[in-house]
């Protein structure tokens, strides 16, 4: 079951969106209808709520919750232009801006409006951004003209939704290894050298991979957030634990997502007791830990896809991340700027750049759950390229 947002804009075809909502609900999806004021001139919001079996005001901001798919049907010429420009002046356009996942639009308009270079340019912009189109189709329009401008039929839209959503469960049967959190390196029995990683990003990745049907093992280093229920959890509090478990689990994995902040240095001599306070300085020698990704790169990869993360500060971060991609033999590196206080460490949101060997993609600021979906979209694509 997926969560599908159905955005309905003003047009006579709005009544066909009722049928789409009914079909999606019947297919077992959770459907959230969202209407523009223009749409409400054609069909009452109450009709959609009844078909979607949702109560008015049940969730205060249903359009801002994570969703698998946004369908805009019918999508008027006006809304198409707003989507291309990034305007957010009603529930549907706001939703489109907040939604980082799959989007399907079903344009519906007078054939001359569809053929206009302005509309064609808007459609091109959206396609380049990864938005999927269904129709418009050729036929008679409501105003009695003939040409390309009719909305695709609800059954066709359902078929397209199913295809898009299927693409998101392409991890079924795959083994996924995720590392999350920040390691703590003991100084003595109670003190440690650690870092600020909460584990949110890795946990979001593990949850998303499990939702897509992956068999997920989560190596957890001192998580500050609850682990997802449907994953195998292995506690790896120190860099040495994480190294050992990663190297043990990776050979069976199809995909490795190395989101943990692994200590680069650990105290060379940890005390087994608690060091008493004596007024003297305490000098600690730190020794380097093993770089787990580098160690992994020395194992035979056998088609496995490995994704690393790079915590960078300031300009030049992307270039350093590209070097890490090479040095650590990664297939993809997820770069985030940890010098910013509003995203990244400790924050529920992130803003990243995905750097692969042949392409790069910036993912705008979004909740970590949506960032996780974008990372997995890319990782799954690489996995399928390699393993079919």
As annotated, the active-site residues are: 195
CB 9 → ligand CTP: shortest distance, Å?
Answer: 42
Helix H or strand E segment including 30: strand 30-35
CB of residue 240 vs ligand CTP: minimum separation in angstroms?
10
Residues 318, 321, 327, 329, Cα dihedral to 10°? -100
Q: How many CB atoms lie within 10 A of CB 216?
A: 27
How many positions of this chain bind ligand CTP (CB under 6 A)?
14
Among 43, 92, 293, 355, the residue binding ligand CTP under the rule CB under 6 A is 293
Binding mask 242-261 for ligand CTP (x = CB under 6 A): ----------------x-x-
Nearest to 239 by CA among 231, 251, 247: 247
DSSP labels, 44-63:
-HHHHHHHHT--TTSSS-GG
Q: Give helix then strand counts, H and E, for the chain.
A: 13, 19
- In the complex, the smallest distance separating the C-beta of residue 257 from ligand CTP, rounded to whole angstroms, is 9
**Cβ closest to ligand CTP, residue 13 vs residue 263:** 263
10 Å CB burial of residue 268 (0-12, 13-18, 19+) is: exposed
Give me the least distance between CB of 286 and ligand CTP, in Å please: 13
Residues 301-320, interacting with ligand CTP (CB under 6 A):
308-311
Give the bridge partners for 288, in sequence order.
Answer: 265
Q: Output 174 or 266, the one with its CB closest to ligand CTP.
A: 266
Q: x-or-dash pattern for ligand CTP, window 344-363, by CB under 6 A?
A: --------------------
Alpha-carbon span 12 to 357, nearest angstrom: 47
Q: Which two tokens stand for residue 257?
A: 């997502």
- Least separation in angstroms between CB 151 and ligand CTP: 45
Residues 74-113 that bind ligand CTP (CB under 6 A): none
Report the distance separating Cα 264 and Cα 271, nearest Å: 19
Contact with ligand CTP (CB under 6 A) among 132, 153, 156, 291? 291
- The DSSP bridge partners found for residue 311 are 336
324 is a contact residue toward ligand CTP (CB under 6 A)? yes
Given the complex with ligand CTP, which of 209 and 310 has the nearer CB atom? 310
Pick from 129, 74, 76, 125: nearest CA to 100? 129
Smallest gap from residue 242 Cβ to ligand CTP (A): 8
Shorter beta-carbon distance to ligand CTP: residue 134 or 343: 343
Of 158 and 311, the one with the shorter C-beta distance to ligand CTP is 311
Strands (E), the chain: 3-8, 30-35, 69-75, 102-107, 132-133, 137-140, 146-150, 175-181, 185-186, 192-193, 215-221, 232-235, 255-258, 265-267, 286-288, 305-312, 332-337, 349-356, 360-367
Write out the binding residues for ligand CTP, residues 258-287 only, by CB under 6 A: 258, 260, 262, 264
**Which of residues 107 and 202 has its CB atom nearest to ligand CTP in the complex?**
202
Which residues contact ligand CTP (rule: CB under 6 A)?
A: 239, 258, 260, 262, 264, 289, 291-293, 308-311, 324
């Amino acid at each position: 079951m997926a969560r599908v947002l159905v955005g309905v804009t003003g047009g006579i075809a709005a009544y066909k969106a009722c049928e789409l909502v009914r079909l999606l609900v019947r297919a077992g999806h959770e459907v959230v209808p969202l209407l523009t004021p223009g749409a409400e001139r054609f069909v009452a919001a109450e009709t959609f709520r009844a078909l979607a079996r949702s109560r008015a005001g049940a969730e205060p901001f249903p359009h801002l919750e994570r969703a698998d798919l946004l369908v805009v049907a019918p999508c008027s010429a006006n809304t198409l232009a707003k989507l291309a420009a990034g305007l957010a002046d009603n529930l549907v356009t706001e939703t489109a801006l907040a939604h980082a996942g799959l989007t399907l639009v079903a344009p519906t308009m007078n054939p001359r409006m569809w053929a206009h270079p302005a509309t064609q340019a808007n459609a091109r912009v959206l396609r380049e951004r990864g938005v999927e189109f269904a129709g418009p189709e050729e036929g008679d329009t409501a105003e009695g003209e003939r040409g390309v401008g009719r909305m695709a039929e609800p059954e066709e839209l359902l078929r397209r939704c199913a295809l898009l959503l299927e693409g998101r469960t392409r991890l079924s049967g795959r083994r996924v290894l995720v590392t999350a959190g920040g390691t703590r390196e003991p100084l003595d029995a109670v003190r440690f050298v650690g870092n600020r990683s909460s584990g949110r990003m890795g946990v979001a990745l593990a949850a998303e991979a499990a939702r897509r049907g992956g068999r997920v093992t989560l190596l957890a280093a001192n998580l500050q957030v609850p682990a997802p229920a449907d994953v195998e959890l292995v506690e790896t509090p120190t860099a040495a634990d994480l190294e050992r478990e990663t190297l043990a689990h990776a050979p069976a994995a199809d995909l490795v997502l190395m989101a943990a902040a692994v200590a680069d240095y650990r105290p060379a001599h940890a005390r087994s007791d608690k060091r008493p306070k004596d007024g003297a300085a305490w000098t600690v020698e730190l020794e380097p830990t093993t770089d787990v990704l580098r160690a992994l790169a020395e194992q035979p990869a056998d088609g496995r896809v490995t994704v690393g993360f790079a915590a960078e500060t300031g300009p030049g971060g992307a270039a350093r991340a590209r070097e890490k991609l090479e040095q650590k033999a990664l297939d993809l590196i997820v770069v985030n700027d940890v010098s910013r206080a509003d995203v990244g460490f400790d924050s529920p949101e992130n803003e990243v750049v995905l750097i692969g060997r042949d392409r790069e993609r910036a993912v705008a600021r979004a909740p970590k759950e949506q960032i996780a979906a974008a990372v997995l979209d890319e990782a799954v694509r690489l996995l399928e390229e390699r393993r079919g």
